[in-house]
Amino acid sequence: MTNNRTIALIYSEKDDAMIEGGIKGWVTNFHKFLSTLMYQITRENPEIKLINESSFSATEMDSYNVIIAVLTSNLVKDKVIVSSLNSHSKKLKGQNKLVADGVARVFKVLKRPFDPDEYLEELEDLLTYDFYLVDPLTGDPQEFTRFFGNDAERSYWMKLVDMAYDINHVLQAKELEDGEGGYETIPREKTVYLASTGVDMVIQRDIIKRELIRHGYKVLPDHSLPKEAKALDRMVRDDLDRCRLSIHLVGEDYGYKPRGSELSVVDIQNRVASDHTYQMVEKNKKAKKDEKELFSRLIWVSPDLKNVTERQKIFIEDLKSDAAALEEAEVLQIPLQELKTIIREELVTGGRFNTRRDIKGLDDEKKDEKTKMIYLIADKRDVNEIDDIQTYLKKQGFNVVSPSYEGDLVDLRYIHQENLRRCDASIIYFGQATEEWIKTKLQDLLKAPGFGREKPLTAKAVYFKGQKDVDMEHYKKNNAMVLGNNGGTFNPDHLKPFLTKMES
């Protein structure tokens, strides 16, 4: 392999057949778009050489700095191409040159779902670049025949941009010997495990991955996942050992099941990450202060869930219950943009591990131990509805605090956790908020010991404004009193059971 900037685009002629409507073939369009992007990124014109079965030459493989293979059932029928890709990759591995500063020199492109591993065993560990969509409802793959429009912009073009930057990264990378320098030496503090997702969360995962890489973070896994459950388990554990944070994105799709398991890949990665979190907590308890290795886990559940199966509902509830037990794990059901802010906070400032902060909007500590603090939690939509409750409780001699609604998202999150840590009791106001939001706040109350809370809550309740069509058993299981629920107008008598419990 020489140090030129030539790129080989290897494909099967059958995969470049004219698309219906008189549009040029898939590969021809891919080549044109990639060439344009490479020029925009480099301001040069690196040669992207189109090579099909009739023009392929095994002797020229060493002359290419980057190889792109459009892998389909058509291409792998050519035994010469398959054999050459395997032998060339094996040779590069032996020379420690298959990966250049964290990015492989061979790019596996899929224009439709296809498993090339049984043909290209030397490339089995490399990630694929998937240029197709999967319908999350039916599971049917959709090959792109139109390259412009909303779906194409969110999937095809964003993936192509990522690939163009990765190719440029390889072209610029210096030859590394023995894995020294660059991407491979990025420290644990800047390494993140971004779990694979169901088909409906692929685009969101790509967005998070793109931002992490642009900010200098190493994202794992940087290899394809094993298709067998035990091997997958081992690989996930090995990767997590190298990471400061794990991120799990959960949508409507449960995910595919690897061989030897009834659990999906998404589920398995979450379970392994949960085990790893507990292990890190125990390890840090025994470690000296300056030897602790911080590790946290963020689980993002899409706020736009609609078509959720019973299996997925159970999975999500299990995730919330598991995360409630540890400060180091948190379930978030917020817009994706807000998730990105939380991720950055975790990595840059230490997030929940940064326990000393001066934040406007956080009330002072209680002035005396006799005055009990009640945390009155309400959604922003209900903030004007809680005045009567707040006024009445203050007249009874309680210190009443509420969430902050204005300011930086990370600060608001910290204030909420501090109020959970310090309060003696809590009331969650159920007005215009969704039941999902209420359940999340109940989970927060369960998790309060993880934020440094030393004593159990004296009382906790959900105050219903009017009748609600909800599963009341859920509140009983959470040992939450149900107040109100019989009209909508506040009556001090509604709070009597709560106040009686506080006094007792």
Closest by CA position to 378, among listed 461, 459, 447: 461
Digit-by-digit pLDDT tens for the chain (504 residues) are 444 678 999 999 999 988 765 567 899 989 999 999 998 888 788 889 999 999 999 999 999 999 999 999 999 999 999 999 999 999 999 988 888 877 889 999 999 989 898 899 999 888 899 988 877 677 777 787 777 766 666 678 888 888 898 898 888 875 444 444 455 568 889 999 999 999 889 889 988 988 888 788 889 998 888 889 999 999 999 999 999 999 999 999 998 899 999 999 999 999 999 999 999 989 988 888 788 888 999 999 998 888 888 899 899 988 888 887 777 888 888 888 888 888 888 887 665 555 555 555 555 544 456 789 999 999 988 888 899 999 999 999 999 998 888 776 667 777 888 888 889 999 999 988 888 788 888 878 876 765 667 788 889 999 988 877 777 877 877 788 888 866 667 888 899 999 998 887
- Are both 177 and 198 inside the same structural domain? no
CATH number at residue 61: 3.40.50.10140
* Dist. CA 148–CA 160, nearest whole Å: 13
| Residue 180: predicted pLDDT | 44
Is residue 266 assigned to a domain?
Answer: yes
> CB under 8 Å to 310, separation ≥6 — which residues?
none
Query: What are the structure tokens assigned to 347, written together?
Result: 């990595």
Is residue 364 assigned to a domain?
Answer: no
- Are both 175 and 222 inside the same structural domain? no
Q: At what angle do helices 202-214 and 336-348 cross, to 10 degrees?
A: 40
- Are both 382 and 328 inside the same structural domain? no
What are the strands of the beta sheet with 191-194, ordered from one edge? 218-220, 191-194, 245-250, 296-301, 329-332
How many domains are there within the chain? 3
Instruction: Answer with the one of 120, 147, 181 that is the final residue of a domain.
Output: 181
| Residue 504: predicted pLDDT | 74
- Are both 337 and 478 inside the same structural domain? no
DSSP assignment letter at 183: G
- Are both 207 and 142 inside the same structural domain? no
Residue 428 phi/psi, 5-degree rounding, is: -100, 125
CATH number at residue 246: 3.40.50
Give the dihedral of Cα atoms 18, 24, 30, 31; nearest 10 deg: 110
- Are both 277 and 338 inside the same structural domain? yes
* Dist. CA 218–CA 235, nearest whole Å: 16
* Dist. CA 275–CA 322, nearest whole Å: 10
Closest by CA position to 221, among listed 196, 190, 248: 196
- Are both 497 and 379 inside the same structural domain? yes
* Dist. CA 422–CA 354, nearest whole Å: 17
Is residue 135 assigned to a domain?
Answer: yes
- Are both 31 and 1 inside the same structural domain? yes
Is residue 133 assigned to a domain?
Answer: yes
Q: What is the phi-psi region of residue 38: left when phi exceeds 0, alpha when psi lies from -120 to 50, beta otherwise?
A: alpha
Is residue 145 assigned to a domain?
Answer: yes
- Are both 172 and 80 inside the same structural domain? yes
| Residue 352: predicted pLDDT | 57
Instruction: Answer with the one of 326, 354, 382 that is the final residue of a domain.
Output: 354
Is residue 360 assigned to a domain?
Answer: no
| Residue 43: predicted pLDDT | 78
* Dist. CA 421–CA 375, nearest whole Å: 10
Instruction: Answer with the one of 354, 389, 405 that is the final residue of a domain.
Output: 354
Range of the domain at 171: 1-181
3-state secondary structure string, 202-226? HHHHHHHHHHHHHCCCEEECCCCCC
Sign for the pseudo-dihedral over CA of 168, 174, 178, 179: negative
Is residue 211 assigned to a domain?
Answer: yes
* Dist. CA 195–CA 236, nearest whole Å: 9
Is residue 359 assigned to a domain?
Answer: no
Paired with 401 in beta bridges are: 375
Please, what is the end-to-end C-alpha distance for the chain in angstroms? 79
- Are both 102 and 241 inside the same structural domain? no
- Are both 480 and 406 inside the same structural domain? yes
- Are both 48 and 140 inside the same structural domain? yes
